[in-house]
Amino acid sequence: MKVPDSEILRAIWRAQVKRTAKGVIVNYVGGSKGLTGERDLDRHFAQYLSMIGRGALGISLSNGQLARRIKSLIGQAGLQWNGRPGNAYEFQTQAATEAFHFARNWWAERGVPTGFDHENQRMRSIKLSDYESLVAQLENELLDQFGERKVTP
């Protein structure tokens, strides 16, 4: 069965959107959480997908065939290598940036701090007892708002 490029691109986009829910959170020793920064590099670390994890995309192709197909799609619809080619890829689009900022703002509205606390000489952070349920809630909101964006060339 032939898997169209559009299906692979949609699966990559949805995986990137879902990764953003946890990707904007920094985990600190002791289980506390803080928000990542707002730079483009922070967005990359919050959203990139690795070739090693391509099997989790849910595409019915072998890992080798899927790797070849992903490599052939790089450069289409905003899908780019980030870092060393062959390792990490992501959509570098306005929609990806919007999803990143939406997730950061969502966590900030729930009290997750960001930045360095100069008085206490440490990063600002809090403990979240219901972290996994909050992640699931944000994933659903991100998918509702951004999951069906057009990403095909």
Alpha-carbon radius of gyration of the chain: 17
- Are residues 143 and 95 in contact, defined by beta-carbon separation less than 8 angstroms? no
Residues 70-112 pLDDT 10s: 999 998 888 999 877 778 999 999 999 999 999 999 999 999 9
Question: Exposed/middle/buried for 104, CB within 10 Å: 0-12, 13-18, 19+?
Answer: buried
Residue 1 has pLDDT above 70, yes or no: no
Q: Where are the domains of the chain?
A: 5-145
Q: What is the pLDDT of residues 123-153, one digit of tens each?
A: 889 999 999 999 999 999 999 999 887 765 5
At 63 the pLDDT is 92
